[in-house]
Amino acid sequence: ADPTQTVFSYKHILQLLSQYICSRRSTIMDPRNIKLALVDNDPLGVAFKVSAFHRCQVRHLLDQQLICLSLTQLTAWNIVRCISSKEMQMMNMPREVKEMLMLMGAA
């Protein structure tokens, strides 16, 4: 991984988060429910501002942390959260906009 990289696709962010959680599985996963992460004493808990989270909450927690670099990216982000990739493919729009939508929605 490039430590100087500051712009990531959503898919890459999810991959990095998954790798992080897997690397700390023995310390943050609740042994009674493996879909629950106990992050009270972990940097992830500080980042997400929670002491625990369920797997189904990950996208919402990530959404609260992400910063779009432009109004175009913010608009694209709002679109990809509302429509399927199949619907995106069918939309008539400039190629560069469609590529940005597909990149942001690739998860």
pTM of this prediction exceeds 0.75: no
| Mean local confidence (pLDDT), 67-89 | 78
Residue 69 pLDDT exceeds 90: no
Long-range contacts of 58-67 (CB under 8 A, 24+ apart): 58/14, 58/17, 62/10, 62/13, 62/14, 62/17, 66/10, 66/13
pLDDT band at 96 (very low <50, low <70, confident <90, very high): confident
Express each pLDDT in 35-55 by its tens digit. Answer: 999 999 999 999 999 999 999
Average pLDDT, the chain: 85
Residue 31 pLDDT exceeds 70: yes
